Amino acid sequence: MKWPQGVSSAAVSCGIKSEGDDLGLVVFDAPATYAGVFTTNAAAAAPVIWSRARIGKDVRALLANSGNANACTGRDGTTAVQQESSAVAAMLGCSKEDVVVASTGPIGLKLPVAKIVGNLGALEANLSDDPEPFARSLMTTDTYPKLAIARVGEGSVVGVAKGAAMIAPNMATMLAFIVTDIVCPQQRLQSLLTGAVDESFNRISVDACESTNDSVMCFATGRVDGDLDQLQTALHEVCASLAEQIVRDAEGGTKLMRIEVRGASDTAAAVALGKAVAASDLWRCAVAGEDPNWGRVLSALGSCDRGLDMRNVEVSIGSELMFSRGEPAGRPEIAAKVMSLDDFTVGCVVGDGPGRAEVLAADLTTDYVRLNSEITT
């Protein structure tokens, strides 16, 4: 996989993490149109605050690190962001306002800016059109890099992401960077990105924890004329692929469940119901144990929408209907077989409304607990 035209990237190990690359740079040959969608958490990290403020102006570079979120770091955090973007700007001969930044890792630790700045030269020396080293440098507890590509005529859309935990309602410690060479005005790019994020990253859940650092940024280098409807489709495809890769690589996760909600009053209601099932620790434990304990799905739906009429509700696991119109049904042994797969569907019909949505979620395992009992300080 290659970056679209006019884009290059590199990665190095600068010593924030104990092993592996932890610093990545993406450079645009000429100023790129820039759009972004960020966490709505009030404890948004310093890099989020900086990069959010850059929306509307073209950018020349993106600097990202893993191993430290630079979140809840107060004045030190703000200073660090200024220092790293100034250093990149000095190297590229642009203004620091032309540089966006992102960080992921533990919260509350001071960002070691000297290590970052001291390695910019090495990054510049390694720039290439291969996005994979950059994608790898974003990894925290991810077990593989996440990349996706879609074609748009002569151009393309290429995205990279990292996920793992703190993935929830409205994104999470999740970074995604998407680049296209298609010409697209900024406002249009922003609305295309927002739409694609809503139907992908905002419909996944690992642990229902919304992070301080979630960022999805999109860059258009404007090298290729292309159809914007096709660009929209390609953006959706790339975002959907990255979102699914994130859930598949959920911390400690062993299963991907597709929660399909139908019959809700509208899409938002369907998404809320799907996320309620996705967030149920009890159901997620049952999924880990391949136990078709569908009552936990019903209980999650019923606590999300207290007006739900159980006589209109159906729950199925795979194609096995387990609860239908107020009555238990189905064969647990068939449902258990479905749940033994590492990718299966939970169907929830909640009425006869037009609202439908698919939410992707992971199971809750002892490995998740182990990973998150030991992660920082």
Spatial contact of 81 and 110, defined as CB atoms under 8 Å apart: no
Among 173, 180, 212, 365, the active-site one is: 173
The Cα 58–Cα 30 span in angstroms is 9
Among all chains, which residue has been given the structure tokens 């996920």? 163
Strand, helix or coil at 331? Answer: coil
Which one, 237 or 314, has the nearer CB to a copy of itself? 314
The nearest distance, CB 373 to a copy of itself, in angstroms, is 3
The Cα 202–Cα 168 span in angstroms is 7
To the nearest 10 degrees (0 to 180), the angle between helices 267-278 and 295-304 is 130
Which one, 18 or 377, has the nearer CB to a copy of itself? 377
The Cα 252–Cα 12 span in angstroms is 27
The nearest distance, CB 115 to a copy of itself, in angstroms, is 19
Among all chains, which residue has been given the structure tokens 């996706």? 148
The nearest distance, CB 69 to a copy of itself, in angstroms, is 8
Nearest alpha-carbon partner for 145 in 156, 134, 155: 134
Which one, 151 or 370, has the nearer CB to a copy of itself? 370
The nearest distance, CB 325 to a copy of itself, in angstroms, is 8
Which one, 223 or 296, has the nearer CB to a copy of itself? 296
Helices (H) and strands (E) in the chain, counts: 12, 15
CA 92 vs CA 10, 81, 116, 352: distances in Å: 14, 17, 15, 57
Whether 173 is catalytic: yes
Burial class (CB in 10 A: 0-12, 13-18, 19+), 311: exposed
Residue type, 12: V
The Cα 117–Cα 111 span in angstroms is 11
The Cα 83–Cα 62 span in angstroms is 14
Spatial contact of 148 and 243, defined as CB atoms under 8 Å apart: no
CA 146 vs CA 19, 201, 240, 249, 331: distances in Å: 19, 13, 12, 9, 37
The nearest distance, CB 203 to a copy of itself, in angstroms, is 17
The nearest distance, CB 139 to a copy of itself, in angstroms, is 18
Which one, 153 or 289, has the nearer CB to a copy of itself? 289
Which one, 40 or 128, has the nearer CB to a copy of itself? 40
Catalytic residues: 173
